[in-house]
């Protein structure tokens, strides 16, 4: 299997806990006593941390500048905001999911702004994949909001 196919397979496989949480939440079904809402928000926080780390790795490949330092700080801010959103979701589920959704969008736009001034360009296929996956993840968060309103 080609490297690109592996990336696409892993990316789309990574959507399954979001979709599973969405379906479980809509049907009010639990797995081993764990609700779809819990599965969704814990996985959301995990993927948010993963993406922030991936952006860190990309930043470390670029020549250091004040803007890159700001990007590093922003990834940490996004993770902390996501963590607070997760904690908030325990009592105010819709608010927590909305904030997580917004942080996913913010980290995506941070990644885009990171590569515009850079001499290192993202692979075009990876960029398309990130746009698709981020759109689907944001849509899944919106779905959770609709289910829980």
Q: Note whether 130 and 108 are within 8 A (CB).
A: yes
Parent domain of 18: 3-148
| pLDDT of amino acid 119 | 45
CB atoms near residue 31 (< 10 Å): 12
The CATH number of residue 105's host domain is 1.20.140
More confident residue, 34 or 71: 34
Determine the pLDDT at residue 128: 83
Read off the pLDDT of residues 82-129 as tens digits, 9 standing for 90 and up.
Answer: 999 999 999 999 999 999 999 999 999 988 887 665 544 556 777 788
pTM: 0.89
> Which pLDDT score is estimated for 103?
97
* Gap between the Cα atoms of 119 and 20, Å rounded: 39
Say what percent of the chain tops pLDDT 90.
66
* pLDDT above 80 for 77: yes
Residue with tokens 């829980």: 148
What is the per-residue pLDDT for 117? 52
More confident of the two residues 56 and 123: 56
Tokens representing 16 are 């399954």
Look at the chain and report how many structural domains it folds into.
Answer: 1
Q: Is pLDDT of 142 > 90? A: yes
Q: Tally Cβ neighbours within 10 Å of residue 84.
A: 13
User: Quick one: DSSP state of residue 90?
Assistant: T
Beta strands in 14-71 (DSSP E): 30-31, 34-35
What 3-state class would DSSP assign to 34? strand
**Higher pLDDT among residues 45 and 123, named by residue:** 45
Helices (H) and strands (E) in the chain — how many of each?
Answer: 6, 2
Distance between CA atoms of residues 12 and 24, nearest Å:
19
User: Average pLDDT, stretch 53-58?
Assistant: 88
């Amino acid at each position: 299997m080609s490297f690109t196919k592996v990336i696409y397979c892993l990316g789309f496989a990574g959507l399954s806990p979001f979709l599973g949480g969405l379906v479980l939440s809509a049907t009010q079904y639990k797995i081993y006593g764990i609700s779809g809402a819990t599965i969704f928000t814990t996985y959301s926080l995990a993927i948010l941390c993963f993406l922030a780390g991936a952006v860190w790795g990309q930043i470390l490949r670029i020549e250091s500048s004040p803007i890159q330092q700001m990007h590093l700080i922003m990834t940490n801010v996004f993770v902390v905001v996501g963590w607070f959103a997760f904690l908030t979701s325990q009592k105010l589920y819709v608010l927590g999911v909305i904030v997580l959704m917004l942080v996913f969008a913010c980290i995506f736009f941070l990644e885009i702004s990171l590569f515009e001034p850079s001499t290192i360009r993202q692979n075009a296929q990876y960029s398309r994949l990130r746009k698709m996956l981020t759109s689907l993840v944001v849509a899944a968060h919106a779905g959770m909001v609709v289910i829980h309103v």
